[in-house]
Structure formats: C-alpha cells, structure tokens
Amino acid sequence: MREERHYQGNPQKNSPALGATLAFLGINGLLALLHGSQGCSTFIRLQLSRHYKEPIPLNSTALQEDSAIFGGWDQLKKGIGKVMDKYQPQIVGVMSSGLTETFGDDMTSALASLHEERPELRPHPVVLVSAPDYIGSMQEGYQRTVLALLSTLLPAPTSDLNSTFAHDKSAVTGMKDAADPATPIIALFPGCHLSPSDIDELKDIMTLFGLHPVVLPDLSTSLDGHLELEPAPVVQGGTTLEEISLLPQAVAAFSFGLSMHKAGQYLEENYHVPHYNFPSLTGLSATDALIMTLAGLTKQPVPAKLSHQRSQLLDTLADYHDQLGGKQIALALETDLLYSLATALIEVGAEVPVALAASPNEIKNFPTGIPVQVGDLEELEELAGATQLIIANSNGRQAAAALNRPHLRAGLPVFDRAGYPQKIWIGYRGTQNFIFDVLNTLAV
C-alpha cells in the first residue's frame, strides 16, 4: 500500500470546466460563458490555446468579492444578456465553477428571470451545465456538457417516434451521397480523448459505409486549425443547430469512450435510436469491433480501402512484434484515453505495469490485465522507474526528465510538440500511426 497523500503533486487532471468548454467549442456559432471569477476562464483559454494553437472564445461573468457575499445570480443574468447583445452568438453555453456551485447560484432561475425581463432573448438557446471543479476531471465536464446539449437542444421526444422514423436496420441500404437527404444519418458522440483529426477519420469511415455522420460535438471542423476567412469571437465550424436537430432521426448512435456511454443512452432511451458504445478505437480488436458493427448495420461489404489498411496494420505488427514485445510502458491519462492506449499496447505484447487515471470514473470497467488506479504525475515519477517509456501529457516532462525515460506525449495539454490535434490514433491506419509513434519515441 502506498501512503495516502493529501495533495496532488504535478496534477495530470484538468478542470471539469475546461472539459465543458471543449465540448462547447464543437458547436457552431456558440459562445461559452463561464460563471466564475476571471481567472477561471483565463486559465482555460490559455491551456486550450497552447494545446490546439487556436483562439478560444470563452467569456466570464467576472465575479468579485461582493458576489461571494450576495451570490452571483445577478451577474449571471447580466453576463448572458451582455454576451447576446455584444456578440450575437447563435447559442450561449454557460457553465458553473467551483465558486458559484459553492454558493449555490441557481442558473435555471437566473435564465428564466432574464427571459421574463427580456422576452426577445427567448429564441436564442442557452445551454446550462453544472461543472463544479471539485467533482471529476476534464472528461466529466465534457460528458456533462454533451448531455446538457442533448437535453436542451433536441426536440421533445414524442410517442410516435417509431412510426415517424425508420430505425430498423433494413432501412439502411445502398451507398448514398452524404448530401442526399435519403442518406441514413448516424449519430456520433466522440469522447474528449479523440483529436479533431481522429473525428475526421471517424467521419470518413462512416462515409465509406454510406452513412451521413452527425457528430456532437464536432471538433474536427472547429479546432482542427484551419485559416478562416473571417475570424470571429464565437465558435467557427462545429456542429450546427440544424444538424443537432437531426440526431433523433439517426439509424444508430455510436458513442466513443466509456464516459460517453450516457450520451448514446440518452438518444436510445428518448428517441429509440439503437446505441452502441465503443470504449476504444485504437488497436486491431477495437477497430475490428467498429467495422463489424458498421457492416452489420449497413449490410454493406467492408470497403476495400479499410481492408487494405487492415492488412497494412497487420504487416506492421509482424515487422515490429519483437520491438514491442515485453516493453514496459507507464501511462498517466484521462480514463478514456488510458483505456484506449493501454489495451492497444497490451494487444501487441507490450506490458503496462503503471496505469494512472486522472479521475476515478470508469476505472471499474477496465479489463483485469491493466493495473489501473487514480494518480498524479508525482506518482508517475515514483512508479515508472522500472519502465522503458512514459505516455502522458506534456506535464509528464518533469517525471520523464527525473527518470531519464523517453516520453510520448498524449492527452491534453501537449504544448511542447507539434501537431498533436492533427494526430490520428484511431482505426487501422491510426493504430499503425500510434505504434510507429511508440517505436520512434523508444528509439530516441
């Protein structure tokens, strides 16, 4: 037993409000508003922009000392009103912070009261999400926000849904163009462990099977790093409100990452859309599971391009099996990414003696072979001494330097290596990339 510590040393954890911001950044025309003091939003903006190398639109209700006494309810009303007047976003995403959760500001009544005073604001949707800093990590804030987006923005479920929308698998036939309204829609809920380019790859795979992917949230068009013609202080790219309204019509909902199970469940329970959860998309088995489900769902043969990528991956596994076999690798990541990378490594014969999760959620669902526990990067430094490679975010650099071990960056933030938001580590091709990154980092 390790001795209990009363502090986090070199935290790997980001705040839930940061995760909430990230989810909001995948919604077109949205402006996020953090209900807290100014530092809360400044730190999030800095952290996300040094990872994605993008401007991060995020405003704050800028609470000060008097709010600590009188509460921040009025400030919240003013903030939402101001954001709408000044920036005219299509949608406002509001998240609470540790400060406002502690004094218990009721965000719902603040919004209702604002609507009463200014009824002209009613048509503009406002999504409220509770993201107290003292519960969970980035992953929890992100997941809660996706759920809040669904429950706020989807049309109310009706009882005759089954007759209105054809959900039975036989309805999915033929290769169709995504722009064709007859192309079956598939709802995708990526976890925050997927990069913008991972999501792009995922959309390509869906298109190959003749499906029209609607992704919530879609970071692949907002945080992918492209040069807009008109920079704006609200989210550019991302899922549109119109696309979100299509979600109940999807033939299936796929959620990615253990934490996103609830989002898929929401669509299944309220709109009878069949839901499939994929805890991982990295590794041969994980990708096979996705492709088999897609083939079964669409009754389509597996596209030749994907089969070819699969055989390329197999060749790589054969070529490098010896360099991978028995390698001792220590990981410290948010649980969804930890699960994905650890299972992919174990699958090819590497060993994972150290697996530190940023927060406790979902660790009970890990396979028995992974010795997962909650831990920070100070623990990584203590435990990874006998391993040959460290996989953690850029903040793992202190541990890697102290232990003199190679360090493969993963997760968030990665600020000292180029191109991480553009990395693809999912699917057959992405798994091959990941294996190469592991091998090349070990080679240095």
Partner 1 sequence: MFVNLSKLDLKETCSPADKGAPKLCLRALPGEGAERSCAFDGARVVLMPVTDAAHLVHSPIACAGNSWDNRGARSSGSQLFRRGFTTDLKEQDIIYGGEEKLFQAILEIATKHRPQAIFVYSSCVAALIGDDLEKTCARAQEKLTIPVIPVNAPGFLGDKNIGNRIAGDVLANRVIGTKDPEAPKVPLSINLIGEYNIAGDLWGVLPDLQNLGIRLQAAITGDARFADVQSAHRASLNVLVCSKSLTNLVRTMERRWQIPYINASFYGIRDTSQALQDIAAALGDPALIERTKFYIKKREAVIRQAIAQYRERLEGKTAILFTGGVKTWSMVSTLAELGINILAGGTQNSTPEDFLRMKELMDPTAQIIEDTSSAGFLDIIATKKPDLIVAGGKTKYLAHKTRTPFLDINHGRKLPYAGYEGMITFAQAVDRTVFSPVWELLARPFPSLEAAL
118 binds partner 1 (CB under 8 A): no
282 binds partner 1 (CB under 8 A): no
Distance of CA 76 to the CA centre of its chain: 27
Site for partner 1 in 137-156 (CB under 8 A): 137
78 binds partner 1 (CB under 8 A): yes
Q: Are 144 and 16 in contact (CB under 8 A)?
A: yes
Helix (H) or strand (E) holding 96: strand 91-96
Q: Using CB under 8 A, which of the segments 65-73, 264-272, 274-282, 429-437 binds partner 1?
A: 65-73
- Minimum CB–partner distance for residue 245 and partner 1 (Å): 27
* DSSP alpha helix (H) spans, 33-182: 38-52, 65-70, 73-87, 98-102, 107-117, 138-153, 161-164
Q: Please tell me the distance from the alpha carbon of residue 91 to that of residue 125, in angstroms, as a whole number.
A: 5
- Minimum CB–partner distance for residue 141 and partner 1 (Å): 10
The DSSP call for residue 325 is T
162 binds partner 1 (CB under 8 A): no
Mark 372-411 with x for binding to partner 1 (rule: CB under 8 A) and - for no binding.
------x----------------x--x-------------
Could you tell me the two tokens for 141? Answer: 């804030």
Mark 80-109 with x for binding to partner 1 (rule: CB under 8 A) and - for no binding.
xxxx--xx---------xxx--xx------
419 binds partner 1 (CB under 8 A): no
For β-strands 328-333 and 389-392, DSSP reports them as parallel
125 binds partner 1 (CB under 8 A): no
Residue type, 357: A
- Minimum CB–partner distance for residue 242 and partner 1 (Å): 25
Q: Which is nearer to partner 1, 131 or 146 (CB)?
A: 131
Q: Which is nearer to partner 1, 99 or 129 (CB)?
A: 99
The structure tokens 């953690």 sit at 392
The radius of gyration computed from the CA coordinates of the chain, to the nearest angstrom, equals 22
Q: Please tell me the distance from the alpha carbon of residue 218 to that of residue 397, in angstroms, as a whole number.
A: 30
Q: Please tell me the distance from the alpha carbon of residue 214 to that of residue 253, in angstroms, as a whole number.
A: 10
Q: Where along the sequence are the contacts to partner 1 (CB under 8 A)? A: 5-11, 13-18, 33, 36-40, 42-47, 49-50, 53-55, 57, 59-65, 67-68, 75-76, 78-83, 86-87, 97-99, 102-103, 132-135, 137, 227-228, 231-233, 378, 395, 398
